[in-house]
Structure 1
Amino acid sequence: MFQLLRGFVLPAAACDGNRDGDSRYANLFRKLDLNEDGRVDIAELQTGLRAMGIPLGKEAEEKIFKAGDTNQDGQLDFEEFMQYLKEHEKKMKLAFKSLDKNNDGKIEASEVVQSLKILGINISEKQAEKILQSIDADGTMTVDWNEWRDHFMFNPATDIEEIIRYWKHSTMSSRRKRKRLGSGGSSCWQEEWLVLSLEQVHGSKSNKMNIASGFKQMLKEGGVRSLWRGNGVNVVKIAPETAIKFWAYEQYKKILTREDGKLGTVERFVSGSLAGATAQTSIYPMEVLKTRLAVGKTGQYSGMFDCAKKILKREGPKAFYKGYIPNILGIIPYAGIDLAVYELLKSTWLEHYASSSANPGVFVLLGCGTVSSTCGQLASYPLALIRTRMQAQASVEGAPQLNMVGLFQRIVATEGLRGLYRGIAPNFMKVLPAVSISYVVYEKMKQNLGIA
């Protein structure tokens, strides 16, 4: 199919120069502009692509059209069409370079194997060769930039991760596909690509949304109620978790208090770390349920007990501790820093500014809680992110089930070091007020119970 596109629509003389590139775009535009009015609507795009042997499917074609129609008049003129293809080529160029490990201008089977291995997906070189055969137009068993560009010209891919997820799926089911496809393999590959490219999985393209677009997508997918999806479990778990954490913290402080009755910053940090680990271990299955309910689609689970029942039936008891190791590794610095910094700030304020009362007041407590929680979040957020993704990936059928190290390598490889802090802004918006208020309640309850 793509050999036909390359020879029939894209002239062999075309190269990467602007003039020849514009000529290629003009040839493509003429093939799609069926009524020759200088504009292409969605019906012409769908009909034209089918005529060229590229039936992507309605959703993919609409996705291309929506991205290209910048003035939103329901039609693509040549300038919009050309701009879309140029932007798309830039994205595909970045994907090509990320696979071309030795920078020789060609992708080889060994480079495909290496790239997938970085993301925790192991395939043989023979399987990688089959992947390249679908792109290789000249039979050299390598893919150059022109072949790569022509193959993905009208695919709704945006980054290398979507492409690799598609490859991963195709290698898993290649034997089944050969039986089903017969001679019509190319069209079905396009349809399967569409299904995979539209999936939204944590760690993929969907993670690149901002807070506003995240709210918009949630409202569109499940209405206002979706904004509180999983909150029932969150409320159920937060009471025992917080109670156990503060109770354990007081107990560990008593154990670690020196003979002279003093408690240093190190002892407070150790007490906080142990308290956080104790609390999280006690309620961790509810943490998993909260995440599954939050990332699940509308109607996927009827409630907390239905979610637990389905997880137990499909994945077994071990699923309730998915992500436990990175969670504990993350909670140790978080809880230790949070509680230690909080008490250090509070005691410092009382020592220097409290003259008539040992009660620092609500606003001081809120300020101490906010600063301490911020320090804890900055230190532990990457591990919390990996924990959440480990919990979420299990809910997506066909997604790679990576371990802690594999997920860390995947995030760094595809998103860079900044990817380890993706989503920290809304996390601060949620955690800072919650933790600060919990400290105020903690102090007031100690006073009321006579244990201050």
Structure 2
Amino acid sequence: MVDFEHEEAATELIQEDSHPMVNIAIQVKRPEAVLPQQKVEETTWQTIIINLISGAVAGAVAKTVIAPLDRTKILFQTSDMRFGVRQVAGVLNNVYRNEGVFALWRGNSATMVRIIPYAALQYSAHEQYKKLLRPSNSQNLAPFPRFCAGSMAGVTASALTYPLDVLRARMAVTERTRYSGMLSMCLHTLKHQGPRAFYQGFLPTMLGAIPYGGTSFFTYETFKKRHRELTNNREPLPVERLCYGAVAGLCGQSSSYPLDVIRRRMQTAGITKYSYKTIWKTAMEIYREGGIKGGLYKGLSMNWIKGPIAVGISFTVFDLSKNALSNTEVFSSGVK
């Protein structure tokens, strides 16, 4: 009798008759051992809604935590102020003394209006792009498709929510008394600068989204993949996700920072003393002001603080929210 349950593999020849006139060989194909693989999630309306909700929550929580640092960074990026730790403390203190503690979160309402749809679209798009780029016979993405999935998700979300990003930047660099709110600023911009003002800095934003989204998602997904390989498919703990996300944020911010400075200058042209029309002219003006370190990379050290915090929180909250929602009675039946 042939034992088909043996896990060794392959193909062997069994001699059924040794008669010199008859030599019959039977080829037996034994089943290959199946290694445990990560479960593939099918796309259903439940998974799409879960990704959208989880992304929205992740973006809102992360941006609210680092809002004071975000506003301070934009104030430096859109001015010729010298950047340093003492100067950062001075700006925070001046805003607090002159406008009150809640002024540190000025522009955060505009940030929420923008970040909730942005993060929802980015995370949901990333999950879909991963499925589209994953080979049918594989459970994991190769490195380059993994980078592409993050880049395409960043570009998709940035393009669809860009006018809101412009309003957020403009809110951050204006005093509270100048506009009553986001709607007031929107109407004023539309009246005095026209619809094109809402797309100032669009190109550098799209160019920056490619390395930023690609690098951050690639780094985080790679850390999680490596973690599972080293721990027999154990999911990372929240603190481990925070650390992986922090490194991903650090890498992503560093890879695209000069384009971030350029886009902020272009977005706020018309309400600051600057007026820029092209990426090249903007970059040259910034370079003349402060060179590479004090101009194109101005405020990067602050981003090395707030970026890892924000991205670490965002990735962690997304994963935890997604897992929690997937286990609820409402959604669990549609997640396979």
| 2:270 aligned to which of 374, 394, 397 | 394
- Please tell me whether residue 447 in structure 1 is matched to residue 330 in structure 2: no
The equivalent residue for 2:286 is: 411
The equivalent residue for 2:42 is: none
Q: Aligned ranges for residues 44-63 of structure 1 at < 5 Å?
A: none
The equivalent residue for 2:37 is: none
| 1:378 aligned to which of 245, 254, 260 | 254
Distance change (3 Å), C-alpha of 1:313 and 1:439: same
Distance change (3 Å), C-alpha of 1:441 and 1:387: same
CA distance in 2: counterparts of 1:207 and 1:237, whole angstroms? 29
Contact 2:248 2:308 survives alignment (8 Å): no
C-alpha deviation, 1:428, in angstroms = 3.1
Distance change (3 Å), C-alpha of 1:246 and 1:390: same
Higher Rg: 1
CA distance in 2: counterparts of 1:446 and 1:358, whole angstroms? 17
- Please tell me whether residue 206 in structure 1 is matched to residue 84 in structure 2: no
Distance change (3 Å), C-alpha of 1:201 and 1:313: farther
| 1:288 aligned to which of 166, 169, 177 | 166
The equivalent residue for 2:4 is: none
CA distance in 1: counterparts of 2:298 and 2:116, whole angstroms? 28
The equivalent residue for 1:72 is: none
- Secondary structure at the residue paired with 1:205? coil
The equivalent residue for 1:325 is: 203
| 1:252 aligned to which of 126, 129, 136 | 129
C-alpha deviation, 1:311, in angstroms = 0.6
Identity %: 36
| 2:110 aligned to which of 220, 233, 237 | 233
- Please tell me whether residue 438 in structure 1 is matched to residue 325 in structure 2: no
The equivalent residue for 1:8 is: none
Q: TM-score, normalised by structure 2?
A: 0.70
2:283 aligned partner, one-letter code: F
Distance change (3 Å), C-alpha of 1:207 and 1:313: farther
Distance change (3 Å), C-alpha of 1:384 and 1:288: same
Cα RMSD (Å) of the superposition?
Answer: 2.0
| 1:223 aligned to which of 73, 81, 100 | 100
C-alpha deviation, 1:204, in angstroms = 4.5
C-alpha deviation, 1:202, in angstroms = 5.3
Q: Deviations over 1:226-272 (max 9, x none)?
A: 21110011122222111111110111111111232241110011011
| 2:143 aligned to which of 253, 262, 265 | 265
Contact 1:203 1:411 survives alignment (8 Å): no
* Most deviating of 265-274 and 429-438: 429-438
1:417 aligned partner, one-letter code: I
Q: Aligned ranges for residues 10-29 of structure 1 at < 5 Å?
A: none
The equivalent residue for 1:297 is: 175
Q: Aligned ranges for residues 414-429 of structure 1 at < 5 Å?
A: 414-418=289-293, 419-429=295-305
The equivalent residue for 1:275 is: 153
- Secondary structure at the residue paired with 2:176? coil
C-alpha deviation, 1:284, in angstroms = 1.0
C-alpha deviation, 1:316, in angstroms = 0.8
Q: Deviations over 1:104-128 (max 9, x none)?
A: xxxxxxxxxxxxxxxxxxxxxxxxx
C-alpha deviation, 1:217, in angstroms = 2.8
2:224 aligned partner, one-letter code: K
CA distance in 1: counterparts of 2:251 and 2:199, whole angstroms? 26
Which ranges in structure 1 are unaligned for 5 or more consecutive residues? 1-199
Contact 2:77 2:299 survives alignment (8 Å): no
CA distance in 2: counterparts of 1:204 and 1:293, whole angstroms? 15
Distance change (3 Å), C-alpha of 1:202 and 1:268: closer
Q: TM-score, normalised by structure 1?
A: 0.53
Which ranges in structure 2 are unaligned for 5 or more consecutive residues? 1-74, 327-331
C-alpha deviation, 1:203, in angstroms = 5.2
Structure with larger RCO (C-alpha < 8 A, sep 6+)? 2
- Secondary structure at the residue paired with 2:268? helix
1:317 aligned partner, one-letter code: P
1:395 aligned partner, one-letter code: I
- Please tell me whether residue 343 in structure 1 is matched to residue 218 in structure 2: no
Runs (4+) of structure 1 exceeding 6 A deviation are none
* Most deviating of 437-446 and 298-307: 437-446
The equivalent residue for 1:34 is: none
Q: Aligned ranges for residues 353-364 of structure 1 at < 5 Å?
A: 354-355=231-232, 358-364=234-240
C-alpha deviation, 1:406, in angstroms = 0.6
- Secondary structure at the residue paired with 1:237? helix
CA distance in 2: counterparts of 1:298 and 1:447, whole angstroms? 40
- Secondary structure at the residue paired with 1:393? coil
Contact 2:163 2:198 survives alignment (8 Å): yes
